[in-house]
Chains A and B, each alone.
Chain A
Amino acid sequence: MKRKSYYARKIKRAAHLLFYRRHKKPGVKGWELKKRLGSDYPKVVNILDDYLEKLDLTIKTVFEGEKPAEKPTLDELNKARFYITLRGGLTPKETKLCGWRIDDIAGLAISISYIISKKGKAPREEVEDLLRDKLPGWRVDINMNRYIRSGYLAEDENKQLYLDWRTRAEVDQNVLVDLLLGAES
């Protein structure tokens, strides 16, 4: 009984840490969870993740480098960032609830896919040209700045675009490429 209440308390604290943004970026670093929840935080996160499944949410772990092939070490987890994301997908109708128009999402999808196809880096001008093909010019610049501000894309001083932290946290790049290649058009 004591053990149960111990974890119940820790799960509540973990939920507060993960749901509320405490820094510029959302999510919590592993070492912060360790500091607040103790060294058994991976277990607390797993229990919370099971609980969130009923709500169609999940705890996503984004590692610093490539995702480890095997079970991640404690050191890798400490350096990783943990987010709460949707477990399943959104329906097109639901996207309006997030404040995204279908054009905005299509533009984001095209930008991300194009950068992936160029091995992770593409000139902004090229991506904008691609978007201008189907979106009005005035909208392209606004959208591109929005994607960068939200953390989906990053731009360097040479006007090269990269995938940024939010794309790594929210978009399953392998699934996106597979779906795109399997599309009929």
Chain B
Amino acid sequence: MSSGKKRKKLGGERLQHIIDLCKSVEERNLDPFIVDVDDVIAVVREYFPEWELPEEFCLDAEAIHQLASVIKLQSDWVRHRSTSLYTDPFLLEEKIRRAGREEFANIFLKAWRPIVELEQISPHSLAEAIKYWQALLPLSERWLKTGSLKMEAGTAGREELIRQRILAETVFSEELELFWEELKQRVGEEGEIHYWDFVGAETYPETLRRAYMVSFLVTYGYATLEVHRLEEEMFLKPFEKPKSMVGKEQLVSVPISVSFEEWRSWKEGKRD
């Protein structure tokens, strides 16, 4: 390798070293004065006549740019130290070590404003507490109620877990698909069904379960809900294939009350 090339290579390495140093000062919040600006400028100036290629000039410009960032940090540091906000930690530490206990306490009292709080029981809260106490069962009775039954350890099968409602009989997605099929059959040729005619069941808990399932049918795009505001009626329309509504149109939440009274009036209306 010729001496010119060797020099170029060395210059490139030194510039890269300067760039890395400046970057680490900026990123790791190090003392900006560890960078000797005069030294860096001397290096940049020394190798500048060697550069010929655009990449070499870019490296040179990058070094100058990073150096400028460090100079800005140095300037900020000087500005901060010259303001009244800055306190020299060494001076402060020295004062802490030298001050006497009493002197220190007295200084602190001038800067300390303790929080003021009240603690007081009111006749109202006392009366409430007495009421609670009177209604409270003795521990011996409470423990009787919550006492656990002694059981032999054993195994439980899937059927047993389903019976105890720990496991569902079918997974939710399967149940939803079945429900969708039922809706498609019930709408017939009209293509829609009155909301209550589909949701309503013999018992109120079952009606609630069906309303809950319908909400998922609509949310997951298996069906849509048509609201006729003037007539105050709602119809369910199943889709042939599930549609994803998200991102395609504005989704609207429709709160539907499925109260016990509504269920009863629907049932009575059905009987009539």
Contacts and interface: CB of A to CB of B under 8 A. Distances in A.
Interface of A: 19-21, 26-27, 57-58, 60, 83-87, 89-92, 95, 98, 102-103, 105-106, 108-110, 112-114, 116-119, 130, 133-134, 166, 169-173, 175-177, 179-181, 183, 185
Nearest to A57: B116
A147 to B, nearest CB: 12
Given A20-B117, A26-B115, A170-B115, A92 B106 contact: yes
Contact of B105 (A20, A106, A133, A166): A106
Given A177-B92, A180-B95, A95 B116 contact: no
B104 A106 contact: yes
A108 B99 CA distance: 14
Given A117-B89, A134-B101, A181-B91, A87 B113 contact: yes
Contacts, number: 123
Contacts of A19: 116-118
B93 to A, nearest CB: 5
A90 B115 contact: no
B107 interface: yes
B99 A180 contact: yes
B114 interface: yes
Contacts of B98: 185
Contacts of B100: 185
B112 interface: yes
A74 B116 CA distance: 25
Nearest to B101: A106
Contact of B111 (A91, A133, A134, A176): A176
Contacts of A26: 115, 117
How big is the B interface, by class? 20 to 34
A181 B95 contact: yes
Question: Which 7 residue pairs across A and B have the least CB separation, nearest first?
Answer: A109-B108, A117-B92, A176-B111, A85-B113, A175-B111, A106-B101, A106-B105
A105 B108 contact: yes
Interface of B: 87, 89, 91-93, 95-120
Contacts of A175: 110-111
Nearest to A102: B105
A60 B115 CA distance: 9
Most central of A26, A117, A130 by chain B CB within 10 Å: A117
A105 B104 CA distance: 8
A130 B92 CA distance: 13
Contacts of B108: 105-106, 108-109, 112, 171, 176
A58 B234 CA distance: 59
A180 B96 contact: yes
Contact of A183 (B95, B101, B115): B95
